[in-house]
Amino acid sequence: MYNTDIITKVQNMKIIHCADIHLGSPMSSISDDEKRKERQSELRATFSRMASFAAAEGISAIIIAGDLFDRDRPFRRDRDFFLSTVKANPGVDFLYLRGNHDMDGVCEDFPANLKPFGSSWVSYSYGNINISGVELNVSNCSSVYSTYVADSEKYNIAVMHGQLCDKAGVCEIDRRRLSGRGIDYLALGHYHGYTEQALDSRCTAVYSGCPEGRGWDEPGDCGFVLIETSDSGISHKFIPFARRRFVIRRIDVSGCLDIHEVLGRINAAAEDDSLASPAGSDDMLRAELSGSPEFDTRNLSYETESLLRESFWNVNVKDLTKPPLILGDYENDLSLRGEFIRNVMKDTSYSDGERRRVIMAGLQALEGEEVEI
């Protein structure tokens, strides 16, 4: 909230800030073909829902801070979908800033409510809000900062796409050169998770994150940021809007006696709301199992995934467990087994993991068991 002494008091305005939609993303993190296609549809549906939400809530504009499409040359179907969504919501303006992933995206046939930014600062006004955006390229990535002009009688929102750091580049935004320029809200795209940080005493730089997670590297709540102006100033809040979330849990299954105990720990970890974003039945869960359970873990990941499939929309289990290595008193074991273990333990050419696996394989072979490492 800022000092509004000089800012014209007009009716409250609402603006949506979103970014990194990545329409056309292949969703390759999902192995199941049907679910992958469903997820692609959900990505589109979320964008459409967001537009409908904006129309229903009387939101003046949606800022798309880059990476609308997943490809430099988006597929026609993705482009047509975007344009049709824009046209279907004529009461909402779509302020489009191209990012590094959609540099050659929609260029022509703009509907009236689709307002692009360019390689120099372009501004659009809505009530007491002035929104200015610029697309960084090789030519302007250093010079844009000095050409920014804030409107002293309005709240100023700046829109850029890149990494906020201490240097300027095509994908780097120099925070020092934006500080103190009269910006109230810096709408950023590039990072796929919601974060915010103060740029100066007046400005907050916000990454809205992507509206739908596309892979395990985008866990947690996804959505957009709703910016509002009122008599007391400009404020913003994150609105979780995703259809589903990627949820990652690291679970130590040491001491588990059977797979059901492992499942119990996984479910407990998934439901634990002391951790961020407990996983629900509509979410996607990755369970990274570590430690040393007390039973045969040869098919642990496959069996666990099969048993959890009904509880979550998508499940991925990474088996990082290490079976207990029962070496016994190999120091004093005069048998071939003991000699073998001693020799391997003494061999410094192995890494710890390799040593463990060599010993396991050798012991299994000497025991007459099926060798599985």
Q: Which is nearer to another protein, 75 or 302 (CB)?
A: 75
Q: Please report whether residue 362 would count as binding another protein according to CB under 8 A.
A: yes
CB neighbour burial string for 8-21, b if at least 16 within 10 angstroms, e if fewer: eeeeebbbbbbbbb
Minimal distance, residue 136 CB to another protein, in Å: 24
Q: Please report whether residue 350 would count as binding another protein according to CB under 8 A.
A: yes
Q: Which is nearer to another protein, 29 or 321 (CB)?
A: 29
Contacting residue, 95, 210, 340, 352, with another protein by CB under 8 A: 340
Q: Which is nearer to another protein, 198 or 361 (CB)?
A: 361
Q: Which is nearer to another protein, 177 or 337 (CB)?
A: 337
- CA 277 – CA 247 distance, rounded (Å): 7
Q: Please report whether residue 217 would count as binding another protein according to CB under 8 A.
A: no
Q: Which is nearer to another protein, 149 or 365 (CB)?
A: 365
- CA 370 – CA 373 distance, rounded (Å): 10
Q: Which is nearer to another protein, 38 or 174 (CB)?
A: 38
Contacting residue, 187, 337, 348, 352, with another protein by CB under 8 A: 337
Question: How many chain residues touch another protein (CB under 8 A)?
Answer: 32
Q: Which is nearer to another protein, 189 or 362 (CB)?
A: 362
Residues linked to residue 97 through DSSP beta bridges, in sequence order: 65
Q: Please report whether residue 351 would count as binding another protein according to CB under 8 A.
A: no
Enumerate residues 72-111 that contact another protein by CB under 8 A.
73, 75-77
Enumerate residues 5-44 that contact another protein by CB under 8 A.
24, 26, 28-29, 36
Q: Which stretch binds another protein (CB under 8 A): 155-163, 186-194, 227-235, 346-354?
A: 346-354
Q: Where along the sequence are the contacts to another protein (CB under 8 A)?
A: 24, 26, 28-29, 36, 73, 75-77, 334-337, 339-340, 342-344, 347, 350, 354, 357-359, 361-362, 365-368, 371, 373
